[in-house]
Amino acid sequence: MPTESNADARRVRLVRGGPMLIEGPVELQLPDGSTVCSDRFVVAVCACRRSRRYPFCDTSHRRKARKEV
């Protein structure tokens, strides 16, 4: 149940070998300073940088397994 201190907090779920799932809507700031927005209720953000739709995940991580360190 939300409290005053976390009422605006977003839940981020890290998927092993996959994307970060963020409760939306979200606004992402990219390294170049530009921003992209999504109003979806859950947004998959690419963590492997293989996505053709970066920063959003397009499941490219499934094509070739990433080596676990």
Residue 3 has pLDDT above 80, yes or no: no
pLDDT in tens, 25-60: 999 998 899 999 999 999 999 988 888 988 999 888
Given a contact cutoff of 8 angstroms between Cβ atoms, the answer to whether 55 and 46 are in contact is: yes
Q: How many whole angstroms from its chain centre is CA 55? A: 7
What's the pLDDT at 41?
93
What's the pLDDT at 5?
60
